[in-house]
Amino acid sequence: MVATGLVGSLLATLFIQVLVAYAALVAPVLAPPIAADLGLDPHLIGLFVSLVYGVAACSGLLSGGFIHRYGAMRVSQACLVLSALSMALLSLGSLSALLLAALAIGAGYGPVTPASSAILARGTPPKWLNLVFSIKQTGVPLGYMLAGVCLPALTLWAGWRWASLSGAAICLVFAISLEAMRAETDRERDPMRPVLSLGHVLRPLRMIFATPAIRRLAFASFVFAGMQSSLSTFLVTFLNRDLGMTLVAAGIVLSFSQMGATAGRILWGRRLERRASGAACASGAPGPGGRGDRRHLLPHLRRRHGDAEPLQPGARPHRLLPHRLCTGRRHRRRGRSLHPLLARAVALTRCAGLAERLAFALPNRSN
């Protein structure tokens, strides 16, 4: 993929992340007016979000087979359509529609990161992987920022139902526009690949729990994601109902709270490229014929503080991780040892970009 192709893929995946994140935050931002119309306590939005992320966790685990069979771009389009469906259902303003909306956005939220990662991993040079993936992941806080600014203003102008429907229309239009990229992006898909198998679900879980480095990363990510979700879910309701701020002002506060996350992801990605480029590896996309050729997926796992080690056929990628990278050992800065807790935090940060791509480097089997 030439540079222009990489830029196009990065922009496409970035906007996909923005729109899906926007859709996921429609209900939390509009919780006060929705609850007022339905006679509910707005703090019950926590149950809605719990259902969304529960379904997203399941759909994310099941997404691998769909990506290999239908292609990462087609799966991304499906995620946008599900996001649009969720916002359309939300605008109906009934309890049953809210339940279906949570299921729809959860089904669309889970696969979007694996699919967009597969699109980018195929054509991104290894030295740019961390930065490119970090830019792509800024789509989440950017989507939250847009939701915080746009949804309250649209609600004030046209009502919360039309605010939700406007997001649905944008998702549908962008999903259709991505069809122009699909032929090139999904050229290596395997139409005969089974979409569902127990191995697709259990293999990533086994890797996480069998590998201490990735297990620690998963638990740390669980805490970070929980804090982010709690803030974005309840902030607008808290400011509006408990502190008496207007919905528009509360949405602006939410948007400001995401600015640091947007800049931080890019800065940490760039920092990782400069100081831990050895942890970068090619990953993610199906190999020739769509069957996950390991030589194509993960040609090298390079390490800054050790010799480069090529991935041999049958090798276990997670066993090539330098132990000190994920335990916090031997981390120094300008001749001074870091505090053990800080060293471990730095180590986990260095592993973050690698863990997502290692999931695609696992041997792929059709059964």
What would the pLDDT profile of 108-136 be if each residue is shown by its tens digit? 998 998 888 888 887 788 778 777 888 88
Q: Average pLDDT for residues 173-198, to the nearest whole number? A: 83
Please tell me the least confidently modeled range out of 131-145, 149-163, 269-283, 317-331.
317-331
Please tell me the least confidently modeled range out of 181-195, 215-229, 234-248.
181-195
**11-41: pLDDT as tens digits:** 999 999 999 999 999 999 999 999 999 888 8
| pTM, entire model | 0.72
Residue % of the chain over a pLDDT of 90: 32
* pLDDT confidence bin for 340, thresholds 50/70/90: very low
Of 176, 169, 165, 192, whose CA–CA distance to 90 is shortest? 165
291: its two tokens: 């069957």
Measured torsion, CA atoms of residues 146, 3, 114, 262, in degrees rounded to the nearest 10: -30
* pLDDT confidence bin for 351, thresholds 50/70/90: very low
Query: Regarding predicted confidence, which is higher, 140 or 327?
Result: 140
pLDDT at residue 276, as a whole number? 53
The CATH number of the domain covering residues in 3-185+215-264: 1.20.1250.20
Model confidence at 255: pLDDT above 70: yes
Q: Are 106 and 52 in contact (CB under 8 A)?
A: yes
Q: In angstroms, how far is CA 177 from the centroid of its own chain?
A: 21
Greatest alpha-carbon span in the chain: 63
Q: Sketch the domain layout of the chain as residue ranges.
A: 3-185+215-264, 273-361
Of 65, 52, 79, 355, whose CA–CA distance to 201 is shortest? 65
pLDDT at residue 97, as a whole number? 92
71: its two tokens: 């292609």
Of 363, 217, 190, whose CA–CA distance to 279 is shortest? 217
Of 13, 6, 105, whose CA–CA distance to 55 is shortest? 105
* pLDDT confidence bin for 325, thresholds 50/70/90: very low
Share of the chain residues as helix, strand and coil, in percent rounded to the nearest 5: 75, 0, 20
pLDDT at residue 157, as a whole number? 92
* pLDDT confidence bin for 274, thresholds 50/70/90: low
Please tell me the least confidently modeled range out of 80-84, 89-93, 107-111, 188-192.
188-192
